[in-house]
């Protein structure tokens, strides 16, 4: 679009100016007439518009972009069904505490509740899943609403915020005035004159003050630090502990710019550590302090446990993994999460990553060789067991052998996007995240279908990094069509589909407990052919000797700029027997 085409300013410009002031460089979307002015204005300002095939994908992509950059991710979707399609992704972002702005279109302000196209009351649907629902009713309020929302996404506990921008606030004033004039008609009857008066007043109110300059200004949101008293108590408890243990979760890395300093702090503390969620890879691929296996047993043996950005939810058996006699330190931005299911001895309320940096400055490192050796010996035993299981040969491909091959071949800067059940659960034990911010999974909501969106977001904000989707065959069904988006936007993502023709995580326990595999059986579908049909590359590996050549070929194609799907036929495995979570 040239300058002449954009001579007439409109409300979309105000939204775009505010986004640009906050450092936004890409907007994820599925187009709609309700939001077109926003997309056009963002593009005119040099922002990248990444349009996808499902509104949920747009929100997942914005979520990933936020996690990796620290700048709130932005998605824009049309009214009504466009917004309802985002709810799962929005809830996932809320539970994962991702700073995200969702801009939603809406019916014209004067027609809401009167049966307009795609007109529904959006607040009751969206409000439970966001930090705030901001409904804009004046053109001059568009920019301030976006600025307020961007700050809110990062303030305190990060999370999504929704801004509703009705369509008649977004197009240029002359067009909207003409639209309302046409709607009012020229009749001379009293009701017709009353309608003209009402609509005229409505338009004047909508545009009142819109001619005044409104420069967009970003508002800094400094993270809260835990109180000095909590830090002192934590230092004393850790210094006295003989078997301390550290668990670091996603919330500790919500400030991506602090990741390297956080990694250095964890290393200086010298405490054995388990990394989960977005914190995977914080210490690199292999670090002597990092543990990967038998976390439950380690927690039950520890005499002091520090949970950094990790709540006591189902993943820690609601706090029961930590023995009652242990000193529990909870560092968390959320007071609720810090006390969830288990009241800590020390509640350090503030940014968990900064708290660990403060601890490292105040606490003298102390070696505990017997404790460390016991933990590392268990890790080594488990790795040896996995090696044995990975060596088993069957008709098709052993999933552990596939994951071992991917672990060997993936680039040093690889980003792994995990989307699935059983196959991805196995991957979490076998794949080693390479660096900070190199592992993306849905988080506490356990949402299937994040893969394509997360990969689109990651590849958009970090071009040049090798990006892999580790996809269960069931989960892949949610996002296969997004290979069209990957091709159109030149995003060379590699997807590896673990094709065991089953919803295996459910089937394993369901068959055992109920004696029936109903609704868990899939087909050995040609997922690679779907990718090819959408313009990408598709490869298939049905036997063990075909795996490594297929993965290497996928890397070559991705390096040449092509998105690729590798369809790997898997044998069944009992590796994750008894893994049902509730």
In a domain, 378, yes or no: no
Are both 405 and 257 inside the same structural domain?
no
Are both 512 and 414 inside the same structural domain?
yes
Alpha helices in 391-495 (DSSP H): 399-409, 422-430, 451-461, 473-476, 483-488
How many other CB atoms sit within 10 Å of the CB of residue 164?
A: 21
Over the stretch 227-271, which tens digit does the pLDDT of each residue have? 999 999 999 999 999 999 999 999 999 999 999 999 999 999 999
Using the 3D structure, point to which of 353, 368, 383 is the last residue of a domain: 368
d(CA 377, CA 369): 12
Are both 63 and 183 inside the same structural domain?
yes
Residue 576: pLDDT band (50, 70, 90) is low
In a domain, 382, yes or no: no
Q: Per-residue pLDDT for 53 more than 70?
A: yes
In a domain, 373, yes or no: no
Are both 171 and 69 inside the same structural domain?
yes
Domain range for 560: 391-569
Residue 214: pLDDT band (50, 70, 90) is confident
Q: Which residue has the tokens 């109180």?
A: 227
Over the stretch 414-469, which tens digit does the pLDDT of each residue have? 999 999 999 899 999 999 999 999 999 999 898 999 999 999 999 999 999 999 99
Are both 309 and 416 inside the same structural domain?
no
Domain of 280: which CATH number?
3.40.50.1220
Over the stretch 85-129, which tens digit does the pLDDT of each residue have? 999 999 999 999 999 999 999 988 877 778 877 888 999 999 999
pLDDT for res 3? 42
d(CA 28, CA 49): 6
Domain of 197: which CATH number?
3.40.50.970
- To the question of pTM greater than 0.85 for the whole model, the response is yes
Q: Per-residue pLDDT for 206 more than 70?
A: yes
Are both 9 and 124 inside the same structural domain?
yes
Mean pLDDT, residues 506-510: 89
pLDDT for res 2? 46
In a domain, 579, yes or no: no
Mean pLDDT, residues 3-8: 52
In a domain, 215, yes or no: no
In a domain, 18, yes or no: yes
Q: Per-residue pLDDT for 578 more than 70?
A: no
In a domain, 88, yes or no: yes
Provide the b/e sequence for 89-101 (b: ≥16 CB within 10 Å): bbbbbbbbbbbbb
pLDDT for res 4? 40
pLDDT for res 582? 52
Using the 3D structure, point to which of 335, 368, 401 is the last residue of a domain: 368
Are both 237 and 342 inside the same structural domain?
yes
Mean pLDDT, residues 475-487: 97
Are both 324 and 413 inside the same structural domain?
no
In a domain, 147, yes or no: yes
pLDDT for res 581? 56
Over the stretch 320-371, which tens digit does the pLDDT of each residue have? 999 999 999 999 999 999 999 999 999 999 999 999 999 999 998 888 999 9
Domain count, the chain: 3
Are both 10 and 67 inside the same structural domain?
yes
**Contact by Cβ (8 Å): 572, 426:** no
Are both 179 and 47 inside the same structural domain?
yes
Using the 3D structure, point to which of 143, 177, 207 is the last residue of a domain: 207
Are both 291 and 199 inside the same structural domain?
no
Are both 327 and 396 inside the same structural domain?
no
Question: Which of 52, 37, 11, 43 minimizes the C-alpha distance to 24?
Answer: 43
pLDDT for res 1? 40
pLDDT for res 114? 82
Q: Per-residue pLDDT for 64 more than 50?
A: yes
pLDDT for res 193? 85
Mean pLDDT, residues 564-577: 87
pLDDT for res 393? 93
Q: Per-residue pLDDT for 580 more than 70?
A: no
How many other CB atoms sit within 10 Å of the CB of residue 167?
A: 26
**Contact by Cβ (8 Å): 313, 304:** no
Q: Per-residue pLDDT for 579 more than 70?
A: no
């Amino acid at each position: 679009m040239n300058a002449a085409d954009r001579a007439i300013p409109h409300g979309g410009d105000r939204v775009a100016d505010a986004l640009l002031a906050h450092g936004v460089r890409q907007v994820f979307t599925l187009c709609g007439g309700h939001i077109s002015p926003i997309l056009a204005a963002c593009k005119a300002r040099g922002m990248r518009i990444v349009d996808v095939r499902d509104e949920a994908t747009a929100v997942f992509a914005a979520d990933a972009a936020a996690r990796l950059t620290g700048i709130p991710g932005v998605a824009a979707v049309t009214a009504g069904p466009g917004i309802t399609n985002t709810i799962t992704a929005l809830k996932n972002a809320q539970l994962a505490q991702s700073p995200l702005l969702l801009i939603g279109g809406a019916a014209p302000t004067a027609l809401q509740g009167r049966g307009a196209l795609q007109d529904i009351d959006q607040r009751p649907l969206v409000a439970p899943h966001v930090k705030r629902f901001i409904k804009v009713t004046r053109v001059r309020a568009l920019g301030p609403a976006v600025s307020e929302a961007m700050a809110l996404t990062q303030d305190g506990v990060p999370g999504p915020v929704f801004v509703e921008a009705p369509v008649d606030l977004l197009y240029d004033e002359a067009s909207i005035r003409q639209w309302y004039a046409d709607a009012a008609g020229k009749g001379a009857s009293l009701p017709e004159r009353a309608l003209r008066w009402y609509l005229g007043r409505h338009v004047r109110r909508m545009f009142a003050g819109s001619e005044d300059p409104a420069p967009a200004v970003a508002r800094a949101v400094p993270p809260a630090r835990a109180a000095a008293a909590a830090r002192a108590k934590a230092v004393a408890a850790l210094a006295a502990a003989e078997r301390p243990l550290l668990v670091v979760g996603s919330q500790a890395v919500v400030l991506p710019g602090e990741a390297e300093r956080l990694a250095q702090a964890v290393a200086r503390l010298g405490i054995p550590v388990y990394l989960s969620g977005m914190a995977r890879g914080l210490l690199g691929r292999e670090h002597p302090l990092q543990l990967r296996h038998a976390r439950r047993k380690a927690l039950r043996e520890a005499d002091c446990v520090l949970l950094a950005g990790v709540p006591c939810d189902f993943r820690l058996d609601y706090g029961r993994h930590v023995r009652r006699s242990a000193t529990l330190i909870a560092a968390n931005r959320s007071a609720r999460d810090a006390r969830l299911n288990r009241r800590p001895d020390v509640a350090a309320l503030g940014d968990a990553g900064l708290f660990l940096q403060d601890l490292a400055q105040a606490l003298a490192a102390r070696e505990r060789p017997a404790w460390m050796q016991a933990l590392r010996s268990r890790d080594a035993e488990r790795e040896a067991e996995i090696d044995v299981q990975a060596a088993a040969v069957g008709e098709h491909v052993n999933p552990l052998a596939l994951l071992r091959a991917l672990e060997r071949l993936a680039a040093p800067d690889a980003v792994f996007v995990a989307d699935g059940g059983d196959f991805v659960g196995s991957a979490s034990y076998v794949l080693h995240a390479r660096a900070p911010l190199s592992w993306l999974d849905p988080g506490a909501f356990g949402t299937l279908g994040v893969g394509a969106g997360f990969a689109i977001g990651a590849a958009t904000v970090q071009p040049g990094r090798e990006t892999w989707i580790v996809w269960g065959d069931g989960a892949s069904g949610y996002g296969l069509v997004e290979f069209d988006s990957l091709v159109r936007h030149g995003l060379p993502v590699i997807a590896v589909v673990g094709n065991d023709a089953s919803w295996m995580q459910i089937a394993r326990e369901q068959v055992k407990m109920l004696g029936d595999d109903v609704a868990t059986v899939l087909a050995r579908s040609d997922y690679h052919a779907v990718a090819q049909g959408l313009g990408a590359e598709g490869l298939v590996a049905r036997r063990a000797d075909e795996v490594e050549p297929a993965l290497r070929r996928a890397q070559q194609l991705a390096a040449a700029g092509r998105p690729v799907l590798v369809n790997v036929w898997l044998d069944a495995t009992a590796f994750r027997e008894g893994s049902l979570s509730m």
